[in-house]
Structures are given as structure tokens and as C-alpha cells.
Structure 1
């Protein structure tokens, strides 16, 4: 199936659009619904397939960066309507790259070091400090300190806010301007 999503109804809808455009066998479309599907599902594989368009509405620069790092050929942020989605699909089908993301830089958000990103991902996936320490072969106190620094860098007060921010559910966290 050329359309992938965490919601089967979206897969059917996406496939009908690809079929209408004559692109059913030419490209893959990943609809990032529910939010996080594209990164979490594809974290298990090494990369996206060639000619893949990922459509997301997640404004988190940390999530978008992880998404781009996974290597889809194109990313479309929050298309205005079905017509803009079809235009982007046609471009990808013609071998063009569509990279419409909600930021050019981190828009004032601090960049995270590679180890901080690893800890962020594991917190988002629900691992405890002890589990994170075991997975990364570091001391639990080191993880505790890193989570504390993450909270500070992300402007958060509680650990449970980290996944909410990562998936873009904390209102007003980001200024979104499509580049």
C-alpha cells in the first residue's frame, strides 16, 4: 500500500488521491496521523523509501528535525487543502523535492546535543530514568541530570510535558511560518 498512516481510513483516502493522480505505484505517502506516527513507526526501519512524501501538522522543531533526519524525499507541513496536497504529490511524482517545513532554524529553540536527543527520544517513548540509563550504558543520576537540562532547554516544568511538546500538543510553544 503506497499510503501509510496510523489510521486505516487515512490510508484509503491517500491511496484514492494517488490513484486519481496516476501515482499509486510511483510514490509513497506517509500521513503523520496520529502525530508522531511517521517518526515512531519509521524509527524501526533505517530510512524512508525513495520518492516518499510525509505530510505532518506537528510544529515541533525537534520532531521535524527527527523526521527530516529519517530521509524522506519530501516533507509537507499542514497543507492548506486537498489541492495543495495534490500539487505536492505531483511534484514528488515528477522527481522534485518538496520541503515545506514550519521553520528555517529552531526559531529560538535550543538545539540539542546528540546524547540529549537520544534521552529526549527515550523519554518520549515512555522509558524511566533507570531504563534509559541501562539502554545508554550510563548512570541513572546522569540521566536525571540530562532530563533536568532538557526540561530547562525546552522551557518545561514536568517530565510528562516532554512528549506533549515533542508531538506539538502544547499550545503556543512555536511560532509557525512555512519556509
Structure 2
């Protein structure tokens, strides 16, 4: 059954961003639900205590044509952890963006999540406003990098088989814009090219460098000095 957009769903003519919160700590889920409840443009459409529960919820929402736009995914959970769940989500529900929830001490595990398709990451102790910023960025296809952990992540990033020398000047230019957190639409507008051409360039960059996500590419570009850090 198709889910109609109601008046309550819309703020300034735009549908609310639908979020699924996945964390094994009920206090975290409750806190996020309370925070999002104070926002006009984001709504929580479900909660899950582990990866398996999340996949079951997503399947049920998909059957109603009501999938969330963004999943906030804890990485350490029983039964199925966030990395395995993210891999399944990106395989089955390709349009759903996943943002990893992590602590600073777990930052290096974020790479595993990025490798299976997570769009970005968010520290659990981030300010409330930053949570909203990260969700909105993921929904727009942009990258939100936390300055506190970028240096740690870039140090632990796996070294690609190739270097920036394999990229064309245009690909380097686009990579630098990706690292600044810009979406394909933003990049297309800045370079006066189509979004399709932008997507092709981004895909080529990832393929040449052996990376699988925009966030990985952004971290790599920062580490290699092709773009400034946040």
C-alpha cells in the first residue's frame, strides 16, 4: 500500500526526513526520539535494538512503501552488529542511507561500516544540533565529517592500490568537492555539468582508488592533502 504524504508530514513544502534509530541501549533510542520530536523536518518512524530487528522493520516498512530515508546505526549490538546490518541494508534497500553511530574509542571500526556502504558517521556524544545536521546531510547525499575523529580515521584508512596519479584533473577536482561534503547536485551546479556526469565521475574515482563510499573518498582526499579537513 502506498503511503500518502499528509499535511503533518510536510514542512515548507518538503516531506519530513524519515529516520529509523537502531541501538541496543533504550536510553539512546529514547533520547534520539525525544530530540527529533522537537524538530519540524525530521521524524522517527521506528526503533530497533539490534541489526536483525532493524532488517525486520525495514522489510515491513518496505511492504507499505514507507521506508525511512536514513538509518542511525549503532555499530556494537547483540545478535547482528551494525556493520553486518549495514551491509544487508545497502544490498536490499539501496536507497536508504545509513549513518554509523559510534564512540571516539570505536572510531576505527567505522571504516568497516564505510566499506559496506555507510554514508557517514556520528559520534554518540555529539551535540543535539549536530545529529540533525548529520541526518540532513545524509538525506541530501552529502557527507558530514566530525572534526574530532577525522584525523584518527584518516590515519587508519586502508591504503588504496592506486594513488591520485590515476585520476584525471577533473576527477581530482570532483574528489576535492566530495571531501568538502558537497552532494552530486552541488558539484554539478558548481562545475556546470549534469548530475549524471557527476555521478559517473564519482563512480570512476571510487573504482580507480578501490574505495566503496563517498565518505571513504573524502577521508582519503583529506589524508592525501587533496582537500582540507573539517
Fold equivalence (TM over 0.5): no
Structure number with the bigger relative contact order (C-alpha 8 A, sep ≥ 6) is 1
Normalised TM-score (structure 2): 0.27
Normalised TM-score (structure 1): 0.32
| Structure with more of its chain in helix, by fraction | 2
